[in-house]
Amino acid sequence: MINLTKLFSSQKSIQKSKPSTSEELLEVGEQPKEITTELTKNYQFCKNTFQESIDFTQNYIMIGKQKGFLCYLDSMIDSKQLTEKIVEPLSLSVEDLSIIENEESFEAFRKKYLSGLPHKFVTKEHEVIWYILSGYVVIFVENIKEVLCLKIFDIQYRSINEPSTQTIIRGPKDGFTESMETNVSLIRRRVKNPHLRFESHIVGRDTQTSVVISYIDGIANKGIVNEVRNRIKKIDTSYILDSGIIDEYITDKSYTVFPLINNTERPDTASANLLEGKVIIIVDGSPFVLIAPVVFTDFFQASEDYYQPFIMGSFIRFIRYFSFMIALVLPSLYVAITTFHQELMPTTLLISVQAQREGVPFPAVIEILAMELTFEVLREAGVRMPRAVGQTVSIVGALVIGQAAVEAGLVSNVLVIVVSFTAIASFVSPIYNFSISTRLLRFVIILAASVFGLFGVLAFLVLMVMHLTSLRSFGVSYLTPVAPLILEDQTDVFVRLPFWANKNRPKFLKTEAPERQENMSKPSPPKMEGEQSR
């Protein structure tokens, strides 16, 4: 576990790491090799590196009066830009009588014929391979050690659409995509702050995936930023294909079903967390952005809470807390009461429940476990099947199987109601991976209730709270600001107070700028004409 005080007090000793670059292509202990001045050797080096790759192209071409060649990946570049901005200008340069002799004359040639394109001059073999893999067009010139890399890559990505897992009624409808540049721009549009930082790192020996850490300098706590940076820097793996893999590598060492890092598809949610003083992690190729640190109460908050009147937002938040408890303990309460504590039910209700269970051949725990497992199978089938039939299968399957099970006398009507209400309550959570934790714990607490009754339910809840208090997310206690109790942060936990009353950022983050806004008072209507002040 990371102690928060120790983490913040030792932040001065943590050096700021440099972003990973083409050095990642070198084997351990391998020394970088310089580009030679012999065009034929350079041509053979590129050819041997990519060998029979169908999307690799290299062509000899005249660079002014000198021989040269281009090499690039067809799958990574914009062919129209290649023709218009590189091939055609180079064909015109044949009439140029000047000779490229060194880097200065090469730069002058670039400015004259290839200006307007982002570029880099490199001198090492691994740097050349890096830029080819990154979608650059690389230009070699005879008798010149410098290689010109021109950026014209054009990778097709999914367009900006509404998030599929975190939908809201009122609020922005745009969501993150798989493009790193698009995701960065979506945040930049909302946070026009010159202190907003985006630090790039390369993770994965084979995939060379770009991972960006974003925070607002002057707001975010440097201890948390350095901790996130160092954990990403320590990742040594073959591949990174999604932000979920980064999640497992950098999360605190705790065997828990509760998520210790939040994720979102919504740019407004990510921007709001940046402004609170948190750190976000963007992974190239993933539409889900990670947010750290996170506390338990964050999973009951949604963007829409802040786009509606605070009374309505507070009511909806209360519904989420209530639904969480229903989804967690309602089936276990049914098992405990019907098996051990029938005296807790009113007589009329007890007679009704027992009459329905009269012909059921299984005990309550077997009934409810079978129905819960059946519903989980239907839910997973609905997710994995094609969208055109997925919802139909899950809904019709639940209705048909539930009705058939009741008519066959395998389960009671009351149990079907309990399982259905529990399933609906589990969908209320705005964060999908948190609802998965609730679903998994529900089975454990059902087994505890079947053995020990209500005592088992209570014991499980006590153990769960003890476990939650032991968790940390980048040095921050998971149950903060409830345990330990921070009164200043209660303005946006169980209820949401008006914006004018919520003046400070969360105290538990120990941000460098604790104050969110100046002192503001509740607005009041203007006085009517002729009305005397009291």
Give the H/E segment covering residue 186: helix 180-190
Position 13 pLDDT exceeds 50? no
pLDDT in tens, 458-516: 999 999 999 999 999 998 999 999 988 888 888 888 888 888 888 888 888 888 888 88
Provide the pLDDT confidence category of residue 389 given band limits of 50, 70 and 90: low
pLDDT in tens, 258-293: 999 999 999 999 999 999 999 999 999 899 999 999
- CA angle, 289 as apex, 288 and 293 as ends, to 5°? 135
Length of the chain (residues): 534
Provide the pLDDT confidence category of residue 26 given band limits of 50, 70 and 90: low
Distance CA 41, CA 53 (A): 19
3-state secondary structure 413-454: HHHHHHHHHHHHHHCCCCCHHHHHHHHHHHHHHHHHHHHHCH
Provide the pLDDT confidence category of residue 216 given band limits of 50, 70 and 90: very high
Structure tokens at 204: 């994965």
Distance CA 264, CA 294 (A): 12
Packed helices 364-384 and 387-407: angle between N→C axes, nearest 10 degrees: 160
Task: Name residue 214's beta-bridge partners.
Answer: 198, 280
Whole-number pLDDT of residue 304: 87
Provide the pLDDT confidence category of residue 530 given band limits of 50, 70 and 90: low
Task: Name residue 147's beta-bridge partners.
Answer: 122
Whole-number pLDDT of residue 19: 39
Position 25 pLDDT exceeds 90? no
The DSSP code sequence of 386-423 is -HHHHHHHHHHHHHHHHHHHHHTTSS-HHHHHHHHHHH
pLDDT in tens, 52-79: 788 898 999 888 888 999 999 888 888 8
pTM above 0.85, yes or no: no
Task: Name residue 476's beta-bridge partners.
Answer: 473
DSSP category for residue 218: T
Position 295 pLDDT exceeds 90? yes
DSSP category for residue 32: P
Give the H/E segment covering residue 68: strand 66-73
Position 7 pLDDT exceeds 60? no
Percent of the chain with pLDDT over 70: 88
Minimum mean pLDDT range among 127-136, 271-280, 438-447:
127-136
Structure tokens at 352: 């009704």
Structure tokens at 126: 């691994």
